[in-house]
Amino acid sequence: MAEILDIQTVGNLQIIVTDIDPNLGTPLGTDAPIGSIAMASDGSGTFTKIGPLDTDWTIDTNIVIPPITGTVDLDFGPATTESGNAKVTVANLLVTNANFRSFSFLRQENADHRFDDFTVEDISFAIQNIQDNVSFEIAGTAPQNAWGKYQIKYSITISN
């Protein structure tokens, strides 16, 4: 049986993240109600359960996986000890080095900073240190140093 890494129930169906193709493993197959969806974290695809057997999974083609989104604060420290770097670790079971496609962000105003502060400080953000099916980091860089928390909404596109 493929190892189930995460599971959500929607009505009578399950959305499952498995380590490999849900038809594989020892013993073969993965138990779930007919109509359930499994996403294999090894990049082998997204599958739908079409029959009663644990091996009745069929690979889906042209599946659109919605972006992974969230809001984070990157803390560059107090005004007295400005820093050029900040990072935050985000736990996520779906992002892998193999399925990562793109990262984008939207600047957010907060108690520390307004929109124009991002431009004045020339702050850039990037995704780094992807730990497959565990977490990733979002890093902020301020070439002239910055202080306080800068907030962004991020969006990560992955493939199936």
153 shares a domain with 112: yes
- The pLDDT tens digits for 105-122 are 999 999 999 999 999 999
Q: Quick one: 37 and 85 in the same domain?
A: no
pLDDT digits (tens, 9 = 90+) for 23-36: 998 889 999 999 99
d(CA 68, CA 98): 15
10 contacts: CB under 8 Å, gap ≥ 6 = none
Same domain for 115 and 135, yes or no, is yes
The model's confidence at residue 62, banded by pLDDT at 50, 70 and 90, is low
Q: Which residue range(s) make up the domain with 148?
A: 68-158
**What band does 160 get if pLDDT is binned at 50, 70 and 90?**
low
CA distance 76 to 146: 6
Q: What is the pLDDT confidence band of residue 13, given thresholds at 50, 70 and 90?
A: confident
The pTM score is: 0.64
In this structure, what CATH number is given to the domain that contains residue 148?
2.60.40
Residue 30 tokens, joined: 């993965």
Nearest Cα residue to 117 out of 86, 75, 150, 88? 150
